[in-house]
Copies of this chain bind each other. A is one copy, B any other.
Amino acid sequence: MSVAQEVEVANKVYESNFTKGDLPLPPGRKVAIVVCMDARIDPAKSLGLSEGDAHVIRNAGGRASDALRSVIISQRLLGTREIIIIHHTDCGMLTFKDEDLKKIIKDSGGDADHLSFLSFSNLKQSVYDDVNYFKNNSLVLNVPITGYIYDVKTGRINKV
């Protein structure tokens, strides 16, 4: 059974208990949360978010530059006025350098030299960098931005 088939089954249970059918489009808590795609992180459960609360933008590393398009849409069209950035311990982005991945792809016959994979070697610095990326980007509104490191061993977020 594919995972697609499995999620269809799981979704039937969710649908049968669903009571949130009249939520508005703009996030109720006016926040955009940028967080790594890592499988171990459940943003809703770990941060106390309910359906309707927050835009959740996720990519490899939780990188700000990769989230820019979404953050602009979130702020300019859907009214969010706060940003939270969450990177995490044991992140895959700490385990490789861009040139390593480009070589893997090249060795299999592809060419990703035009892409930036945004790997990083210092976790705390990556959070500072991404907070500052938004603070210094003129397309991003001047709103409160808070950066955290999520500890995958404890489930705790620690402010940077």
Contacts and interface: CB of A to CB of B under 8 A. Distances in A.
A84 B11 CA distance: 14
Nearest to A104: B76
Interface residues of A, number: 87
Interface string A11-29: 1111100101111011111
A124 to B, nearest CB: 17
Given A15-B154, A110-B138, A146 B20 contact: no
A87 interface: no
B156 A45 contact: no
Nearest to A118: B69
Contact of A92 (B22, B78, B112): B78
Interface of A: 2-4, 6-15, 18, 20-23, 25-32, 37-42, 44-60, 66-70, 72-74, 76-78, 82, 84, 90, 92-93, 95-96, 101, 104-105, 110, 112, 115-118, 138-139, 144, 146, 152-157, 159
